Structures are given as C-alpha cells and as structure tokens.
Amino acid sequence: MTLRRRLVLSIVALVVAVSAVIGGGSIIALFSIQRSAIDEQLQYATSRAQRSVEQQGPNGPEFGRPSAQAAGTLTVYILDGNAVVGSLLDNSGQAERLSTAVVRPLSGLAVDGQPHTIDLGSDLGRYRVTAANVGPAVLVVGLPLAPVYESVWKLLGVVLVVTVLALLVASAVATAAVRRALRPLDRVAETASTVARMPLDRSDALDGVRVPDADPATEVGRVGTAFNRMLGHIGNAMQARERSEQKVRQFVADASHELRTPLASIRGYAELTRRMGADLPPDVVYAMSRVESESVRMTSMVEDLLLLARLDEGREIQFADVDLTGLVLDAVNDAHAASPDHPIEVDLPAEPVEVVGDAARLHQVIVNLVTNARTHTPDGTRITVGIAPATDGGVDLTVRDDGQGIDPEFLPKLFERFARADSSRSRTAGSTGLGLAIVDAVVQAHGGQVGVTSEPGATVFTVHLLARGAGADHVAGEPAVAGAPVGGAPAVGGGGAAAAGNAAVGDADVDTWSGVPERS
C-alpha cells in the first residue's frame, strides 16, 4: 500500500473514530437525560395516583386517570400479591383496563420507591415503573419509555448520516491535502527513477533534486538533500572510475603501440636465424621457430589490445556503404581454406545486402565469429553463416554451429576481455580471449547489438546492424565516433568491448588468424 493511501485511510479512520465517539456519547447522554426526565415525571405521577387511591379507593371512578396524568400512564392496584385492578391512560384521557397477563409481571415488583425498567410485552413495550404502599395494598405506577427510544433512534440516524457525509468530505479533503503534501516526494521519486533508468556511463549524466524539494527544513527536503548528497558521492566515484579507466586505456594503448616494434624485431631475428638453420643444431632451429611462432601470437594479442583501446577512444571506425554479402563470402572462402575439416555453408538472400559501416572492421567481426566456431567445435561440425532482414528494417547476421554448446553459467561473461570458456567447448589452439570483446566493441561502435543463444547442437550468434540508408548522418569516408548514434540508433557508451553483463551475450574467446586484415 502506498504512503498516500495509508495517510488518507488513517485520516478517514480518525474521522470515523471521532464520529463514533461523539455520536455514541451523544446517544448515551440523550438516553440518560430523557430517562432521568421520565423518572422525575414518574415521581409526580406516583404521588397523584396515591392521593387518588387514598381519596376514592381502587374502585373509584377516577382510578387510573387522575387529573394531570400524562397519556400512557400505567396504574396497577395490588392487594395480597394479586392485581386487583390495572388501567392504562390512552391518548384521549380514557382509562383502559389491562389484562391479567399484562399486569402479572408487576406483582413481584420491589416496593423501594426506586424506578425500574420492565418489559410488558404485547404492544406496551418497555416501561419505567415504581411501587409504593397505599394502606394494605401496593400501588404500581409506570410511564412508557417509547418516546425515549424514539428520540434515541432518530439521533442515531442523524449521527449515521452526518458520519457518512463527514467521511465523504474527509476523504476528498484528505486526498487533496495528502496529494499536495506529497507532491515534492513524488518529484524526488521521479528523479530517483530517472537516475535509476540511466546507464550511468558518464558522471555528468547525474541530475539531482532541485530546490525547494531539497530544502532541509522539511521532511521531504531532507530526503532530497540526502539524495543529492548520495548522487554527489556517486558522481565523484564515477569520475574517479573514469579517470582510472582512462589511465588504463592510455596505458594499454601506449604499451601496445610500443610493444609492436620490439616484437617485430624479435620475429624478424627469429625468422632470420631459422633460415640460417644449416649452420645451427636442430634443437636451436626448433627453439627459434617456437620463438617466431610465439612472437606472432603475441603480436596478434598486442594488435587486438591496441584496436580495443582505439575503439574505446572513439577511433578506428570509418563509415561508408558496405556490401555485407561480399564480406560474408570472402570470410567464408578464407575459412574454407584455413579449416577444410569444418563444412561451412552460407544462407544469403538473392540480392546483395548493404549496410553503413566500416568494411574492414565488419569483415573482422565475421572472421572472428567464424573462427570462434571453428576453434571451439570438433572437426566435422557444420557452420552456417546467414543474413536475414530484421523486423526494424535492419539486418541480422547469424553464425550458427552444431557443436556441443556453451556452458550457461559462462554466457553473461562471454564478451568480457580475456574471458575463456575452456570447460564448455573444445580447445584445439591457444586463445587470447579478446576475439569476442572485439566483436562486441565493433558492433556497438556501429550502433548495433550482438547476442547469442546456445544449447547442445545449436549455438547461434546474431549481429544486428543498420540497413543501408539508415546511417545517412555519416557520408562515405567520414569518420564517426565509436558508439555514436548511427541513423537514429541509440548511443553506446565507451568501453563497450569490456561491458560486463551486457544485455547481449556472446560465445567463448577466439583467436584471430591470418585472414584478418592488418590492424595498425
């Protein structure tokens, strides 16, 4: 239940309680006051009836209807415990004889001069009666309580009507007052919800609660102030994180750039030494071949790290119209030559499919995905590369293999840098763990998305790209910032290659191979 509803219900409940107390107290007070008035009238009526009996006896013509007696007055003369005569004064002033069944309950009434309430049944109802001695007999006089109960019921009806009206008015007033009072809290909650929906990839994206909702003199203002203080701490932490990430990216870029030259020298000298193998022992020739092989693999890793660093900085992407069909055919032909043991098929539309993007980088995406399927599945596993139109007018590039699938626990981490899933898929070659991170970074730089579904016998990577014409904001050859909107696609924050827990999940780590275009 919301706070607004609880407050309104509390106010309405308070009104009900107050109305019940006031109404109940009024009814009890009215009943007590009117009964006291009946008791006072009963004393005078008893005195008049005593004088009449003493003067005329119970058989006198004025018995039961002495002068000044009110309508409804009951008079009973009891001798030796038996009612001798009983009468009731009607509205016309005439005395009506009462039956024995009516007056019998009055025979045992205590003669103490105090009023008692007794139910005479029939049509008489409740009476207030008192008994007094008159010679050897007992005289019982009573007055009806019907007028008292009638007044009480009327007051109860008035109280109920007034209470219902008060509830309606209180509900309306309380709803309006609570809504007005909680309006600042609603604005604070709306601000918090807006911040919660933000990707929070930039510290300048935080927007706190505005004055007067942050006035510390009010309860809601203190909440707003605390919220702004919390956003300030978050912003400072994010700025510190951004500075740290920037330093790491800069270090990786600088280190990768500086490592290329010594690695090229190591590779060159190792190759030169290996070619002079006629003058060297066989074990030395083998060792130099291994140095050369490892230098090639390390160079590939350095190139991948350098590419990721440049993508993080918004570089490396040159947008132009790209024939995606041609890139798929080139990548598949290269994969056929590199891995003849894997049957690779294509599923392409009849007409060429064009997108807006960087041809070299998109070719690398296709090569990395196909290589990932080759590397982590046994020989003979069928691989299918397809292109299909998407529902939003874009293009879906799929790479499917019939291998053993990916461990479900590893799926959320597939696109992290240096992520490996050795336990879920076979491993026939070394891996840097950067292949899918590059795929994710390149696809995000194109404003697209990459995802994966995997089960034993069916692992499918899907790359969603914008169709040709959707990226009209970028003319052919014009550079664009990685992650910037392309043709209305949502912007993607920096560092997409290392986005842990990305909504799209990918396959295990891959190695690039000789078919990948040179990166520099």
For the chain, the maximum distance between any two Cα atoms, rounded to a whole number of angstroms, is 164
For residue 213, the model assigns a pLDDT of: 66
Looking at the fold, whether 489 and 382 belong to one and the same domain comes out as yes
Looking at the fold, whether 127 and 223 belong to one and the same domain comes out as no
Does 204 reside within a domain?
A: no
The span from the CA of 139 to the CA of 106, in Å, is 10
Do 263 and 252 meet the contact criterion of CB atoms below 8 Å apart?
Answer: no
Q: Is the pLDDT of residue 59 over 80?
A: no
Q: Is the pLDDT of residue 227 over 70?
A: yes
Q: Can you give the CATH number for the domain in which 276 is found?
A: 1.10.287.130
For residue 251, the model assigns a pLDDT of: 77
Q: What are phi and psi of 138, to 5 degrees?
A: -120, 130
Q: Can you give the CATH number for the domain in which 16 is found?
A: 3.30.450
For residue 134, the model assigns a pLDDT of: 80
Instruction: Give, in order, the Cα–Cα distances in Å from 75 to each of 49, 59, 66, 355.
Output: 8, 12, 10, 112
Q: What are phi and psi of 314, to 5 degrees?
A: 80, 30
Closest by CA to 439, choosing from 471, 461, 466, 408, is: 461
Does 115 reside within a domain?
A: yes
**pLDDT tens digits for 474-486?**
433 343 333 333 3
Looking at the fold, whether 291 and 324 belong to one and the same domain comes out as no
149 three-class SS: helix
Looking at the fold, whether 298 and 417 belong to one and the same domain comes out as no
Looking at the fold, whether 436 and 463 belong to one and the same domain comes out as yes
Does 165 reside within a domain?
A: no
Residue 418, both tokens: 């240096």
Looking at the fold, whether 304 and 321 belong to one and the same domain comes out as no
Do 328 and 461 meet the contact criterion of CB atoms below 8 Å apart?
Answer: no
Give the residue numbers spanning the domain of 244.
219-308
In the structure, what pLDDT confidence band is assigned to residue 33 with cuts at 50, 70 and 90?
very high
Last residue of a domain, one of 120, 149, 178: 149
Does 69 reside within a domain?
A: yes
Q: Is the pLDDT of residue 513 over 70?
A: no
Do 232 and 203 meet the contact criterion of CB atoms below 8 Å apart?
Answer: no
Residue with the larger pLDDT of the pair 513 and 341: 341
Looking at the fold, whether 300 and 344 belong to one and the same domain comes out as no
The span from the CA of 459 to the CA of 461, in Å, is 7
Amino acid (1-letter code) at residue 93: G
Q: How many residues does the chain have?
A: 520
Give the mean pLDDT of 158-169.
Answer: 90
In the structure, what pLDDT confidence band is assigned to residue 400 with cuts at 50, 70 and 90?
very high
Question: In sequence order, which ranges of 69-145 are alpha helices (DSSP H)?
Answer: 100-103
Q: Is the pLDDT of residue 202 over 70?
A: no
The span from the CA of 480 to the CA of 485, in Å, is 9
For residue 461, the model assigns a pLDDT of: 92
Q: What are phi and psi of 85, to 5 degrees?
A: -150, 145
Does 515 reside within a domain?
A: no
In the structure, what pLDDT confidence band is assigned to residue 472 with cuts at 50, 70 and 90?
very low
The span from the CA of 292 to the CA of 267, in Å, is 5
Looking at the fold, whether 269 and 371 belong to one and the same domain comes out as no
Q: Can you give the CATH number for the domain in which 358 is found?
A: 3.30.565.10
**124-133, 252-261, 378-387, 435-444: least confidently modelled range:** 252-261
Give the mean pLDDT of 219-248.
Answer: 81
- Side-chain-facing half-sphere of 101: CA atoms under 13 Å: 4
The per-residue b/e assignment along 429-457, b for 16 or more CB within 10 angstroms, e otherwise, is: eebbbbbbbbbbbbbbbbbbbbbbebeee
Last residue of a domain, one of 101, 120, 149: 149
Q: Is 390 exposed, middle or buried (0-12, 13-18, 19+ CB in 10 A)?
A: middle
The span from the CA of 196 to the CA of 207, in Å, is 11
Sheet of 116-119, strands arranged across: 95-97, 82-89, 74-79, 137-144, 126-134, 116-119
Residue 332, both tokens: 């598949």
Last residue of a domain, one of 125, 149, 173: 149
Which residues on neighbouring strands pair with residue 139, listed in sequence order? Answer: 77, 132
477 three-class SS: coil
Closest by CA to 87, choosing from 78, 97, 79, 100, is: 97
Does 205 reside within a domain?
A: no
Instruction: Give, in order, the Cα–Cα distances in Å from 503 to each of 207, 250, 420, 452, 491.
Output: 25, 27, 19, 10, 15
Q: What are phi and psi of 14, to 5 degrees?
A: -65, -40
Which residues on neighbouring strands pair with residue 134, listed in sequence order? Answer: 137
Does 36 reside within a domain?
A: yes
The dihedral built from the CA positions of residue 311, 315, 320 and 322, taken in this order, carries a sign that is: negative
The span from the CA of 404 to the CA of 133, in Å, is 113
Looking at the fold, whether 354 and 482 belong to one and the same domain comes out as yes
Looking at the fold, whether 358 and 489 belong to one and the same domain comes out as yes
In the structure, what pLDDT confidence band is assigned to residue 180 with cuts at 50, 70 and 90?
confident
Give the mean pLDDT of 90-114.
Answer: 77
Instruction: Give, in order, the Cα–Cα distances in Å from 419 to each of 54, 411, 462.
Output: 119, 10, 19
As for how many domains the chain has, the answer is: 3
Highest mean pLDDT among 9-13, 292-296, 430-434: 9-13
For residue 500, the model assigns a pLDDT of: 29
Does 171 reside within a domain?
A: no
For residue 26, the model assigns a pLDDT of: 92
The span from the CA of 201 to the CA of 494, in Å, is 8
The span from the CA of 399 to the CA of 420, in Å, is 19
Looking at the fold, whether 349 and 468 belong to one and the same domain comes out as yes
Instruction: Give, in order, the Cα–Cα distances in Å from 19 to each of 27, 151, 189.
Output: 12, 19, 36
Q: Is the pLDDT of residue 37 over 50?
A: yes
pTM above 0.75, yes or no: no
Do 450 and 464 meet the contact criterion of CB atoms below 8 Å apart?
Answer: yes
With a CB cutoff of 8 Å and minimum separation 6, the contacts of 313 are 249, 253, 482, 494
Characterise 200 by phi-psi region: left (phi > 0), alpha (psi -120 to 50), beta (else).
left
**Averaged pLDDT of the chain:** 76
The span from the CA of 114 to the CA of 101, in Å, is 24
Characterise 240 by phi-psi region: left (phi > 0), alpha (psi -120 to 50), beta (else).
alpha
Looking at the fold, whether 375 and 401 belong to one and the same domain comes out as yes
